[in-house]
Amino acid sequence: MGNKKSNIEFITNGNITDVIFKLSIPLMISNLIKTLYGITDGIYVARISSEDYAATSFTWPVLYLFIAVGLGVSVAATSLMSQRLGARKLKDCSIYAVHTLILTTVLGVIFSILGVITAPFIVRWMGATGSFEYKSYIFLAINSVGLLFDMIFFGYQSILNSQGRTKSMTIISTISSVTNVVIDPFFIFDNVLGIPGLNMGLAGAAWATVLSKVLLVVFAIIVVKKESEIEVSFKNFKLDMGIIKHIFSIAIPASLGSSGEAIGFTVLNGFIQSYGTTTLAAFSMGNRLSDIFNQGAIGIGMALTSITGQNIGAGKKERSKDIFKRANIIITFFSLASAIIILLFKDQLLSIFIKDRSDIELWRQASEYMYFSAIITFFMGYFSAINGFFQGVGKTKLTMYLSLARLWVLRLPLIMILKKLTDLGSTGIWISMLVSNGLTVLIGFIIYKRGKWER
């Protein structure tokens, strides 16, 4: 992995379809591996009990609330560095890279401490009680330790992503995920294939995840040192608050959008929990399975940030528009294939989690949600492309408005209305998700067509 050959010329002048695929395919693979890891991890935890499995889904939005801030900084840094790469300003990129790493490390320390301290109060506030409250607290507290490594990794990720070095990101993410899958059962169970395990249960799954994140950071540091065109050196470093403010000016809207979504998903999980742990488990299973098929489109959306950023930096606005259009055409084909597979193999996919359809009500709800997921996959792809494009041009306020509107203005109110005024039950949740995603994509395309991002 010692190749420092520049991608700038290819990204700003190469065949558009080739550029999209070259940068997005590694991200697709990386995301798919992470999703498959999540499913494998879920299968391990589900073997303990359905309550333990529900606890992992219940607390995830809280963790994502912290992660969203780091993602916002990563998006901002990727956008800023990719635009400067397109303009061939490598020295400026180095300055932004170092400031980004300082910023993400400080945030990581703060978030880990805050997460561990507030974990018991958060799960109680969310409505968890009894043994479910304790399990949710344990899972949340241990994973909060890993927030430090999440934040540091986001800094290095932005350096590589801004250069379009998505292949390197895939390699290190794969190593981390595979390591997690291998060590997971040894931390969770007392015996694995005749080898003694730690028998830590749900806590073991959380600690295995934290260790894999440490490994992720180590490899990210090595890859950046060997491959990056952007030099990362803390020698003679001088803090420039103007650069910090510039990063935050773009990061805050992106973070608020993601954080607002995270809070919304926390509230959403509270609503779903009110239907019972069966509905929450069905929701989690459906999401994990449909996520597998969304990764192609999401990978394209992620790649658009650096592709668009470099082309905008190079002054190629019309080419950026062509890239966005081509990306959405590709996403349409990906989503169509995904929807067909979900519908044809729905039962086989659900059987991964539900053996012999032993829980009839869980099977019914999860099965119904899969039908909705087949349609939602189109909107998830388009939404990812819209986000990636707006982030690439540095218009993170637009992504913030869309993200917040999708959940707070559309989805949550609609769920409440359908719950109070109809007898749809969990079906009302699935309908709300479909409608909110569809309307948000429509609004996003209207904003793009009106050209507000150009101003």
Taking alpha carbons only, the member of 399, 232, 254, 387 closest to residue 324 is 387
**How far lies 233's CA from each of 60, 86, 283, 446, in Å?**
35, 21, 45, 43
What percent of the chain has pLDDT above 90?
Answer: 42
C-alpha torsion angle, residues 162, 166, 167, 173 (rounded to 10): 120
Cβ-contact 112, 63 below 8 angstroms = no
Give a three-class secondary structure readout of 104-146: HHHHHHHHHHHHHHHHHHHHHHCCCCHHHHHHHHHHHHHHHHC
pLDDT for 252-282, tens place per residue? 898 888 778 767 777 887 778 777 778 888 8
Alpha helices in 90-240 (DSSP H): 90-125, 130-145, 147-162, 166-188, 202-227
Cβ-contact 292, 149 below 8 angstroms = no
Cβ-contact 411, 432 below 8 angstroms = yes
- Cα 198 versus chain centre, distance: 30
The letter for the amino acid at 2 is G
349 token code pair: 């996919």
252 token code pair: 């805050």
- What pLDDT is recorded for position 384? 95
Burial of 82 (0-12, 13-18, 19+ CB in 10 A): buried
396 token code pair: 């993170």
**Residue 199: CA count within 13 A, CB half-sphere:** 4
Q: How far apart are CA 247 and CA 245, in angstroms?
A: 5
Look up tokens 């940068």; give the residue.
Answer: 23
pLDDT for 117-129, tens place per residue? 999 998 888 887 8
- What pLDDT is recorded for position 9? 87
Cβ-contact 82, 96 below 8 angstroms = no
pLDDT for 277-330, tens place per residue? 788 888 878 887 888 888 888 899 989 999 999 999 989 999 999 999 999 999
Q: How far apart are CA 452 and CA 394, in angstroms?
A: 12
Phi, psi of 231 (to 5 degrees): -75, 135
**How far lies 140's CA from each of 53, 324, 445, in Å?**
13, 38, 37
Cβ-contact 123, 133 below 8 angstroms = yes
Regions in the chain scoring below 50 on pLDDT: 1-3
Q: What is the DSSP letter of 359?
A: S
